């Protein structure tokens, strides 16, 4: 019962935002653009901290680095997962304390580590000996944590094998970290983005507990378990409420760590940012490929290169709203405006749009506050990067 209510709620956030609707109706701005409501980000942040008690929240900046959003989260007490000097500068200039930044990219240039260290960042991740040696040299004495390889089964935007190392390697690297004068504090992992299955955290938590026990035998006492991101947003299909994830993670921690409960951290990106945004696009062309086939192709003024990169493999399936909703619909292939043939959004997914949809009509793409502006190209075919407007600024 509780789950059904949660699902309804998640679906409503994206669709029924009065302020965003008012903004969209208030003016004829040039499309495409994204409008984000900062109040929704605050709501999502509170929902997370309500579900995850005594857990440090590191917002993954890459999900949406809009400065007002960063400022808002900093004011709410969020910490930040950053991946580059530019993200560090952004967080610092929007009021975050360097002590609240975690350099969570396992692949860092030596100069960038030094840059972070010089600005007061003292928390870094690694997943290899070579990276650990860079950290020892350029961020001496810093707190470091080791990222474990994690399976991405169940995730709609998987992270595969690029990040993390095997548990036995993590054990020797964490011991080595101490010997190199660093401060080994814990372990992290990421179960894949838009992870629909709350039980997918359990295997990594079990591995982490094993790593904690094994390094303790070498006199290294870890305290931090960083469970990464992956918490899903509701797109076409509703998702389980965030409490289901918090409960699954907390009970896994209890099961595998027993009385030696570590300090928990999470790194949500999508969960905080996705529901803040609606992307307004316009229909450029509606056409058919032959007189025999009445399947319509609908070309929008945004596509794979304008910010909708997560439609790759039709992985993320956004909900669409038009002013003609309620009228009879038919199946469509949806594509972007560029001269690249991979610029097709949905061909296999069964999208339907109103039959009398025509060029100039708006198509609003819901739940687009995360992983859109950051993926938008700087000018493929001369199309400008995706513009963002912010509303609901309380600062
Ligand atoms: C991108 C990223 C996240 C955020 O993942 P979501 O699925 O958006 O929650 C968290 N941690 C790290 C290290 C990341 O790279």
Q: Say yes or no to pLDDT of 186 above 90.
A: yes
> Whose CA is closest to atom 5 on ligand 1?
229
Q: Point out the ligand 1 atom lying closest to the alpha carbon of residue 83.
A: 15
Residue with tokens 């000018």: 379
| Ligand 1 neighbour 232 (Cβ under 6 A) | no
| Ligand 1 neighbour 81 (Cβ under 6 A) | yes
| Ligand 1 neighbour 147 (Cβ under 6 A) | no
pLDDT, residue 160, reads: 73
pLDDT, residue 351, reads: 97
Of 68, 64, 95, 93, nearest to 79 by C-alpha is: 95
pLDDT, residue 2, reads: 33
Measure 196 CA to ligand 1 centroid, in angstroms: 15
Out of 160, 269, 272, mutate this one to test ligand 1's pocket (max ligand atoms within 8 Å of CB): namely 269
| Ligand 1 neighbour 167 (Cβ under 6 A) | no
Higher pLDDT, 155 or 314: 314
> Is 388 in contact with 33 (CB distance < 8 Å)?
yes
The residues carrying an active-site annotation are 339
Three-state SS at 86: helix
Three-state SS at 243: helix
pLDDT tens-digit series, residues 308-353: 999 999 999 999 999 999 999 999 999 999 999 999 999 999 999 9
pLDDT tens-digit series, residues 31-80: 999 999 999 999 999 999 999 999 999 999 999 999 999 999 999 999 99
| Ligand 1 neighbour 150 (Cβ under 6 A) | no
| Ligand 1 neighbour 266 (Cβ under 6 A) | no
pLDDT, residue 146, reads: 98
Measure 111 CA to ligand 1 centroid, in angstroms: 23
Q: Say yes or no to pLDDT of 4 above 70.
A: no
pLDDT tens-digit series, residues 200-257: 999 999 999 999 999 999 999 999 999 999 999 999 989 999 999 999 999 999 999 9
pLDDT, residue 15, reads: 52
| Ligand 1 neighbour 275 (Cβ under 6 A) | no
| Ligand 1 neighbour 127 (Cβ under 6 A) | no
| Ligand 1 neighbour 268 (Cβ under 6 A) | yes
Measure 350 CA to ligand 1 centroid, in angstroms: 29
pLDDT, residue 159, reads: 76
Measure 25 CA to ligand 1 centroid, in angstroms: 33
Measure 17 CA to ligand 1 centroid, in angstroms: 26
Q: Point out the ligand 1 atom lying closest to the alpha carbon of residue 104.
A: 13
Three-state SS at 156: strand
Q: Distance between CA atoms of 147 and 222, rounded to whole angstroms? A: 13
Q: Across all residues in the chain, what is the average pLDDT? A: 94
> Is 93 in contact with 114 (CB distance < 8 Å)?
no
Domains of the chain: 3-36+274-391 (2.40.37.10), 39-272 (3.20.20.10)
Q: Point out the ligand 1 atom lying closest to the alpha carbon of residue 147.
A: 13
> Whose CA is closest to atom 2 on ligand 1?
60
Out of 62, 82, 195, 229, mutate this one to test ligand 1's pocket (max ligand atoms within 8 Å of CB): namely 229
Q: Say yes or no to pLDDT of 168 above 80.
A: yes
């Amino acid at each position: 019962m509780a789950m059904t209510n949660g699902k309804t709620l998640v679906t409503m956030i994206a669709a029924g935002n009065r302020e965003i609707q008012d903004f969209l109706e208030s003016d004829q701005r040039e499309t495409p653009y994204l409008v984000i409501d900062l109040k929704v980000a605050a709501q999502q942040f509170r929902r997370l901290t309500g579900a995850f008690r005594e857990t440090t929240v590191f917002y993954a900046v890459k999900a949406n680095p809009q400065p007002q959003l960063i400022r808002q989260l900093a004011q709410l007490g969020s910490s930040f997962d950053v991946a580059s000097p530019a993200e560090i500068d952004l967080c610092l200039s929007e009021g975050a304390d360097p002590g609240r930044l975690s350099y969570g990219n396992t692949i860092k240039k030596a100069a960038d580590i030094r840059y972070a260290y010089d600005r007061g960042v003292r928390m870094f991740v690694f997943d290899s000996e070579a990276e650990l040696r860079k950290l020892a040299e350029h961020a001496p004495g810093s707190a470091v944590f080791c990222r474990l390889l994690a399976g991405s089964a169940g995730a709609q935007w998987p992270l595969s094998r690029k990040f993390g190392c095997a548990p036995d390697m993590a054990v020797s690297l964490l011991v080595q970290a101490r010997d190199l004068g660093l401060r080994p504090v814990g372990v992290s992992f990421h179960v894949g983005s838009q992870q629909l299955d709350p039980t997918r955290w359990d295997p990594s938590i079990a591995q982490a507990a094993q790593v904690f026990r094994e390094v303790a035998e070498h006199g290294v006492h870890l305290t931090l378990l960083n469970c990464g991101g992956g918490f899903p947003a509701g797109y076409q299909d509703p998702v389980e409420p965030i409490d289901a994830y918090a409960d699954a993670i907390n009970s896994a921690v209890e099961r595998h760590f027993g009385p030696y409960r570590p300090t928990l951290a999470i790194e949500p990106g999508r969960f905080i940012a996705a529901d803040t945004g609606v992307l307004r696009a316009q229909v450029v062309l509606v056409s058919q490929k032959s007189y025999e086939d009445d399947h319509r192709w609908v070309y929008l003024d945004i596509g794979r290169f304008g910010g909708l990169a997560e439609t790759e493999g039709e992985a993320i399936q956004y909900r669409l709203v038009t002013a003609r909703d309620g009228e009879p619909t038919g199946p469509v292939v949806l594509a972007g405006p560029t001269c690249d043939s991979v610029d097709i959004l949905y061909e296999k997914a069964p999208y339907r749009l109103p039959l009398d949809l025509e060029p100039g009509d708006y198509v609003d793409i819901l739940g687009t506050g995360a992983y859109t502006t950051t993926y938008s190209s700087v000018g493929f075919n001369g199309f400008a990067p995706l513009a963002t407007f912010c509303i609901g600024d309380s600062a």
